[in-house]
Amino acid sequence: MGRPRPARYGARDPGVWLWRACWILAGLVAVGALGIFFAAPALNLIFKGFVDENGHPTISVMAQTFQSARTWRIIRFTLGQAALGAILCLILGVPGAHLLYRVRWPGRTVVRGLVSVPFVLPTVVVGVAFRTLLAANGRLGFLGLDGSWQAITAALVFFNYSVVVRTVGATWSQLDPRRAQAAAALGAGPVRVWRTVTLPALAPAIASAASVVFLFCASAFGIVLVLGGTRYSTLETEIYTQTVEFLDLPTASALSVLQIAVTGFCLFLSGRAQRSLQRSLGDAAPSPLPFRGRRDGLPVAVTAAVVLGLLLAPILTLVERSFQRDGAWSLVNYRDLVTIPDGSGMVVTVWQTLINSLTTAVWATLLAVGLGVVVALLLSRRPTSRLGRTSLSIGDAAFMLPLGVSAVTVGFGFLITLDRPPLDLRTSPVLVPIAQAMVAIPLVTRVLLPPLRGVDPRQQEAASALGATPWRVLGTIDCAGAGPIPGVGDRVRVLHLAR
Amino acid sequence: MVDASESGLSVRDLTVRYQDGAPPAVDGVTLHVAPGQVVALLGASGSGKSSLLRTVAGLVRPESGAVLWDGADVTRVPVHRRGFGLMFQDGQLFPHRDVAGNVGYALSSMPQARRRERVAELLELVGLEGFGDRPVQEISGGQAQRVALARALAAQPRLLLLDEPLSALDKALRSRLASDIRGLVERTGTTTVHVTHDQDEAFAVADLVGVMEAGRLVQLDAPAQLWRHPVDAGVVELLGQGPVVTVEAMEAWFGVRVDGPVALARGALVAGDVGDVGEGGLDVEVVSARFVRGRGELEVRLPDGRLATVFGDAGRGERLRVTVDCGALVRVGSA
């Protein structure tokens, strides 16, 4: 028997008509927001790469950029370190996901919280922390890693470790344990069960996490700027350097085009991998496993090493430094938070800055979660028509694009695009949260999609047969069944909004 | 006023195809279920019985044909407005709701106190008093199916559709639950279509049993009628009524004259010692012997190589002379 084609009904029924109209409206809002606040600015800036000073179309800038050895070095470095970062995050993060989401032990909530701290730290601060730690006179100065690419990779893993732990962990905690039990009963040892049952079931979440981490690493900005100095630059920092230091918009936009191509290709691959890996998680949610040394020993060792060595060391260094002024222990740094120190060049107190940041963050979060939920729900539909399926896979990639397009591209695009009526937002304070939300939407979407897509369609059918309207099915089956959605607010939280 | 012949469920010339060009899963089925009647659809897996049920429920859109209720065309009415209850093979209880939350799912518009009452009533109806607070993961398979049944009955559906509701259960539980279902739908007067591949279940539950083969409804009859007069060899095989033998072979093997092909059902072949039955008997080889429900059952090889069942005691490989009890033959064909 083929795959059953779900029923579709004509617009005769007003309820069905309203239901469809709402989805179309949601789609338009999502596409519209993405178009105005992401595509238009980015395209506008990119367009600059294809015209000369007099406004005539040319490809000479493009050609020049691609002939330069520097460009290729930067591409190699960008992709290489992103791949390395993603692989390391997976190797370290999957055992962490097991330990923090599948096994029951006292204190796991605390460690879960601790693990997600780096994700919300500002990149510049983290960059400084790593430098402090690795500098010749720092605590880890003997490693001689100051200014090396290894330091950059370590800092990127520091940031993105929790993405893997949380994305994979959320799926893992929902996995029907009977499948593993069935495999064990067929004579498979624990390793084989993991490889043949657990791993394939986790694959969509792993692919999703890996693609997010890869894109974060590939578009890393603050970290590379602080730790890489002049020796290492990624496409992102290069775009920034070209724009801000050399005022060379055409070259910057040529690099942006390149970045979009690279990102688009990665997204295409990851989207395809995710769809082909997608499957139901089963309907029996497991209870957490008791701790068992033989099974959990390795994850404990890996996770402890990561938490202590990679996550805590820089954070503690920061705390330590905050209590020091000119080499002596002191609280003067904290006193300075509420006052404007003489000769610091600051015009507002740090507290005020903090309040401004928080306000921005709250707005950005509301926007990102609101639109992200709409996008995730849209992308989790199972359209029957070929047209529907095609637009879905295009949308899947399109809504991920902001993640991989240089924030610098979008930022400068904003300034040169949204600078005239009807939308003159250049000086408006709403610009910052909107820009941040655009970058955060793909993240919200990626967190929500795997559980939403994992909902068994027969559950929806059962609810419909019980007389539930499509709205009620959405609310009581898709949303409730997807489980970790309540956690999204906390997950996206203040996000990397400080970045 | 609704014409009596139109009240209840009518399926008219329904065809379902999952992929263009593929053979239809349901092929021109016409079926009528009168109000209060229980119809079982019996068929091997892949025969299209579940597809038919899902189309009636509104989960699958037919390529052509219509589904009517009391004469009104509901083919284009969405699932949740049809007022048809559906119960799945594996229950599909909602894991994030407890038993009461599942049973009360369809009662969301009821005031809470009234709903609690009704849920308790329904749980009592299916013999699960006091189970309301249990998480659905912690109840047994049989209990889960009872909860699913209570959940489907909660909305007082005008038609109850059961998709292999007992297939996941063990035999003893299955027959008990089958008679429970029969009692429940009788008591509530619910019109029911029950899909199964198990004939015992179909016969236990239904007023009428329909047999599906390759998407077609080949026969719809009361259980006894179906058993005595299967329309073709496919039905005979599905009911496990033994090999179908032609008129010529009956004459040649047993010297018995019949007016159409017959099935050698259990009891139709009688074993006797060689010589006992004289000229009319057939000399056959015992292929296997087993003990079933208190008596010996032998499988013997017919001259054309097919196997038939004979009651009696003999060892494997022994030879046996068998004759025919004409009263126990099953006549195949509608005539």
> What's the pLDDT tens digit per position in A268-320?
777 777 777 766 666 556 677 778 777 788 888 888 888 888 888 888 887 88
Residue A476: CB atoms within 10 Å: 21
- Taking any CB pair shorter than 8 Å as contact, residues of chain B touching chain A are 18-19, 22, 25, 46, 51, 54, 57-61, 76-81, 83-86, 88, 92-97, 105-106, 108, 137, 151-152, 154-155, 161
| CB–CB contact A7 B78 (8 Å) | yes
Query: Distance between CA atoms of A169 and A172, rounded to whole angstroms?
Result: 5
- A424 at B interface, C-beta within 8 A: no
pLDDT reading at A486 higher than 50: no
- Would you say residue A160 has pLDDT above 70? yes
Residues of A in contact with B137 (CB under 8 A): 284-285
Residue B95: which pLDDT band, with cuts at 50, 70 and 90?
confident
Tokens representing residue A138 in the block? 């720092």
pLDDT above 70 as % of chain B: 96
Give the pLDDT score at A482: 55
Radius of gyration of chain B (CA): 24
pLDDT for residue A1: 38
Yes or no, beta carbons of A9 and B106 under 8 Å apart: no
Chain B touched by A14 (CB under 8 Å): no
Q: What was the pLDDT predicted at A40? A: 86
Residue B193's pLDDT is 94
Residue A234 to residue A120: CA distance in whole angstroms: 22
The region of weakest confidence among A122-136, A267-281, A438-452 is: A267-281
Check A476 against B105: CB less than 8 A apart: yes
Percent of chain B with pLDDT over 90: 29
Give the pLDDT band (50/70/90) at residue B34: very high
Domains along chain A with CATH numbers: 14-492 (1.10.3720.10)
Quick check: A182 pLDDT over 80? no
pLDDT value for B30: 94
A196 reaches B (C-beta below 8 A): no
Q: Which of A472-486, B3-17, B243-257 has the lowest mean pLDDT?
A: A472-486
Nearest CB neighbour to A465, from listed B18, B85, B96: B85
pLDDT digits 0-9 by tens, B170-201:
888 888 888 888 888 888 888 999 999 988 88
Give residue A326's pLDDT band: very low, low, confident or very high (50, 70, 90). Answer: confident
Which residues of A are less than 8 Å from B88 in CB distance?
A: 458, 461-462
Token pair recorded at residue A378: 């849209």
pLDDT at B221 over 90: yes
On chain A, the residues whose CB falls within 8 A of the CB of B84 are 465
Greater pLDDT, A483 or A422: A422
The nearest alpha carbon in chain A to B83 belongs to A467
> How is residue B82 written in tokens?
């049809």
- B60: nearest CB among A7, A283, A465: A7
Q: Which residues of A touch B18 (CB under 8 A)?
A: 1-5
The pLDDT assigned to A185 comes to: 75
What pLDDT band is residue A489 in, cutting at 50, 70 and 90?
Answer: very low
Q: Domain spans of chain B? A: 9-230, 239-331
Q: What chain B residue is nearest to A481 in terms of C-alpha separation?
A: B96
Res A441 pLDDT > 70: yes
What's the pLDDT band for B326 if we cut at 50, 70, 90? confident
Tell me what the mean pLDDT of segment A408-430 comes to. 74
A95 close to A164: Cβ distance less than 8 angstroms: no
The pLDDT of A212-217, averaged and rounded, is 85
| Contact call for A4 and B151, based on CB within 8 A | no
For residues A326 and A376, which has the higher predicted lDDT (pLDDT)?
Answer: A376
Structure tokens at A422: 């009807």
| Arithmetic mean of pLDDT over chain B | 87
Write the burial class of residue B267 (CB in 10 Å: 0-12 exposed, 13-18 middle, 19+ buried). middle
- Choose among B60, B81, B84: nearest Cβ to A5: B60
Q: Would the CB atoms of B61 and A8 count as touching at under 8 Å?
A: yes
Q: Which H or E run includes B159?
A: strand B159-163
Per-residue pLDDT tens for B225-279? 999 899 988 899 899 888 999 888 888 888 888 888 999 888 888 887 544 444 5
Write out the two tokens for A187.
């004579």
Contact B79 A4 (CB under 8 A): no
pLDDT given at position A282: 61
- Of the two residues A497 and B153, the one the predictor is more confident about is B153
Which of these CATH numbers, 3.40.1260.10, 2.120.10.30, 3.20.20.140, 3.40.50.300, describes B9-230?
A: 3.40.50.300
pLDDT at A257 over 60: yes
Across A17-26, A206-215, A433-442, least confident range:
A433-442
Q: Residue A280's pLDDT is what?
A: 61
B214-218 long-range contacts (CB < 8 A, ≥24 apart) are B214/B23, B214/B27, B214/B47, B214/B48, B215/B16, B215/B23, B215/B24, B215/B25, B215/B26, B215/B27, B215/B29, B215/B47, B215/B48, B215/B51, B216/B27, B216/B28, B216/B29, B216/B48, B217/B29, B217/B30, B217/B31, B217/B41, B217/B52
Pairwise pLDDT comparison (A487 vs A30), residue with the higher score: A30
Q: How far is A113 from chain B (nearest CA, A)?
A: 25
Whether B38 has a pLDDT exceeding 60, the answer reads yes
Q: What is the pLDDT of residue A240?
A: 84
Q: What are phi and psi of A419, to 5 degrees?
A: -110, 10
Candidates B19, B59, B61; nearest CB to A461 = B59
pLDDT at B65: 93
Best mutation target, A16, A281, A283, to test chain B (most B CBs within 10 A):
A283
State chain A's mean pLDDT as an integer: 78
Cβ contact, residue pair A463, B105, below 8 Å: yes
Pick the CATH number of B239-331 from 3.40.50.720, 2.40.50.140, 3.30.1370.60, 2.120.10.80: 2.40.50.140
Condensed to tens digits (0 to 9), the pLDDT of residues A79-107 reads 999 999 999 999 999 999 988 888 888 88
Q: What is the pLDDT of residue B154?
A: 87
Q: Which of B25, B79, B155 sits opposite A1 (nearest CB)?
A: B25
pLDDT of residue B64: 93
